[in-house]
């Protein structure tokens, strides 16, 4: 059992939040039907999916093991899978994000090679951008999703062809340490001169005023950049979404619903983290392991679960924020809040559909079929009437 101690200790996270206002009313509810989600053709070689990307030209997935890249048509037909592990032109070492994809190739961020690579369909490098030459260490790039547990994608936002924004922290340590997210700067890379960095700290409240001296496992802010280059920041201190224009000036503040303040218990923690222990600990052994470590775990985290764990912006520059679900793996539940101006909507996807990204007019993620297998899938947000 002692072998599990370092793993369990590294998984700690939590938040303490307070209500600071009421959200826009009414909070309209929208349920996405299972049949409206379009699943891609199954790929027998597809390992765990780290990142997904979708547009009108097709759908792409980045896996945790070779072949790393899989491509489908927008109708869902599998086109190809490629990308072995290694340093050859058609190989990758540690790919951690899909940046951009179209018929000419796929841009991939490879932390192992410290490169951004444009790979030709089927393999081969068309272009590379050296992160080290820009004084960017891959370890300083922020990971999003799953609280840094297991392989998760690096945060990247596409500005236009060949230009992106990345999130860099000034604390190059594991992303399960919540303090990283409070010290994040969004930096433009790629073609041309970089724009002024966005320092998220300047849009956030003073965390010590609310959370005291906790410096390790604390609530974390989230952010999203919209197609019009405005951006939004979730501030756990005020429990608000802050909107700013492309020049960084604040233009709006949206209060979120009052916090749930759901206490972290060994039972709830075991449910949320059970997915991580697959293959390491038998399902019936997860809770006993957590209970054994609970005196240590409970000292190293705040005693309340997070409220929100993911944030995106759609084609209409509406902000989506995912509600933490203590009954779902890593808290990635089916419920999202969507804010567009003074309109607020509550959107619930099918429980079998895990949204990875909301980009353009699409929600793209993973759909679990009747056999427990996961397929890459999309939902067209344009089908909804807001």
- Do 58 and 72 meet the contact criterion of CB atoms below 8 Å apart? yes
**What whole-number percentage of the chain has pLDDT above 90?**
48
The mean pLDDT of 29-37, rounded to a whole number, is: 90
Q: How many helices (H) and strands (E) does the chain have?
A: 4, 27
Q: For 278-313, what is each residue's pLDDT tens digit? A: 767 888 889 998 899 888 877 766 666 778 889 999
- Do 113 and 98 meet the contact criterion of CB atoms below 8 Å apart? no
Higher per-residue confidence, 20 vs 86: 86
List 53's β-bridge partners, or say none: 60
pLDDT for residue 324 is more than 70 = yes
- Do 57 and 44 meet the contact criterion of CB atoms below 8 Å apart? no
Q: What is the pLDDT of residue 107?
A: 96
Place of tokens 């005291």: 212
What rounded mean pLDDT belongs to the chain?
Answer: 84
Q: What is the pLDDT of residue 26?
A: 55
Q: For 340-377, what is each residue's pLDDT tens digit? A: 988 899 999 999 999 999 988 899 999 987 777 889 99
Q: Among 134-138, 191-195, 306-310, which is the least confidently predicted range?
A: 191-195
The mean pLDDT of 135-144, rounded to a whole number, is: 87
Residue 174's pLDDT band, with cuts at 50, 70 and 90, is: very low
* Three-state DSSP state, 274: helix
How many domains is the chain partitioned into structurally? 1
Residue 5's pLDDT band, with cuts at 50, 70 and 90, is: very low
- Backbone CA torsion sign across 330, 336, 337, 340: positive
Tokens of 386: 């807001």
**Residue 204 is part of which domain span?**
2-383
pLDDT for residue 220 is more than 70 = yes
Q: For 274-287, what is each residue's pLDDT tens digit? A: 887 776 788 888 99
Instruction: Dump strand ranges (E) for 271-352.
Output: 308-313, 319-324, 332-340, 343-348
CATH number, residue 25:
2.120.10.30
């Amino acid at each position: 059992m002692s072998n599990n101690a370092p793993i369990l200790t590294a998984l700690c996270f939590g938040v303490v939040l307070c209500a600071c206002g009421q959200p826009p009313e009414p909070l309209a509810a929208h349920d996405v039907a299972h049949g409206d989600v379009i699943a891609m053709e199954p790929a027998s070689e597809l390992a765990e999916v780290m990142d997904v990307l979708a547009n009108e030209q097709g759908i792409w997935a980045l896996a945790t093991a070779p072949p790393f890249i899989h491509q489908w048509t927008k109708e869902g037909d599998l086109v190809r899978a490629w990308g072995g592990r290694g340093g050859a032109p058609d190989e990758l070492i540690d790919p951690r994000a899909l940046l951009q994809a179209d018929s000419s190739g796929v841009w991939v961020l490879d932390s192992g090679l410290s490169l951004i690579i444009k790979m030709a369909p089927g393999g081969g490098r068309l272009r590379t951008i050296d992160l080290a030459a820009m004084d960017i260490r891959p370890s300083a790039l922020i990971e999003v999703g799953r609280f840094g547990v297991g392989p998760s994608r690096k945060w990247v936002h596409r500005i236009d062809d060949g230009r992106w924004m990345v999130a860099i922290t000034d604390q190059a340590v594991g992303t399960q340490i919540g303090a990283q997210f409070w010290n994040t700067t969004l930096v433009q890379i790629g073609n041309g001169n970089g724009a002024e960095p966005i320092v998220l700290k300047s849009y956030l409240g003073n965390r010590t005023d609310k959370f005291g001296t906790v410096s390790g496992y604390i609530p974390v802010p989230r952010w999203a950049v919209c197609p019009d280059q405005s951006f939004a920041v979730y501030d756990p201190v005020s429990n608000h979404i802050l909107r700013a224009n492309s020049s960084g000036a604040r233009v709006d503040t949206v209060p979120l619903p009052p916090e749930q303040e759901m206490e972290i218990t060994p039972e709830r923690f075991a449910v949320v983290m059970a997915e991580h222990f697959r293959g390491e600990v038998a399902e019936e052994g997860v809770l006993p392991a957590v209970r054994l470590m609970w005196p240590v775990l409970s000292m190293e985290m705040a005693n309340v679960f997070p409220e929100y764990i993911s944030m995106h912006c759609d084609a209409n520059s509406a902000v989506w924020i995912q509600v933490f679900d203590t009954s779902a793996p890593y808290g990635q539940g089916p419920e999202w809040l969507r804010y567009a101006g003074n309109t607020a909507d509550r959107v619930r996807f099918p429980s079998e559909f895990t949204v990875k990204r909301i980009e353009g007019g699409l929600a793209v993620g993973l759909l679990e079929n009747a056999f427990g297998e996961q397929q890459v899938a999309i939902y067209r947000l344009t089908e909804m009437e807001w």
